[in-house]
Amino acid sequence: MSIVRKDGFGFYFDTDKCEMCGGKCCTGKEGYVFVSAYEMLEIAKMLDMEFEEFTGSFVRKVGYRYSFVEKPCDDGLACVFYNEGKCGIYAHRPRQCRDFPFWEGYKRENLTLEECRALQNECIGVQFES
**Residue 17 identity:** K
Mean pLDDT along residues 116-121: 79
Q: How confident is the model at residue 130 (pLDDT cuts 50, 70, 90)?
A: low
To 5 degrees, how large is the angle CA 35–CA 108–CA 12?
75
The answer to whether 44 and 81 have CB atoms below 8 angstroms apart is: no
* Rounded Cα gap, residues 44 and 47, in angstroms: 5
Strand 82-83 relative to strand 86-87: parallel, antiparallel, unpaired?
Answer: antiparallel
pLDDT over 70 at 1, yes or no: no
Q: How confident is the model at residue 86 (pLDDT cuts 50, 70, 90)?
A: confident
Mark 41-76 as b/e (b = at least 16 C-beta within 10 Å).
ebbbeebeeeeeebbeebbeeeeeebbbebeeeeee
pTM listed for this prediction: 0.86
* Rounded Cα gap, residues 52 and 44, in angstroms: 9
List alpha helices for 1-130, DSSP H.
18-21, 37-46, 51-58, 95-99, 113-122
pLDDT of residue 7: 92
Mean pLDDT along residues 104-110: 83
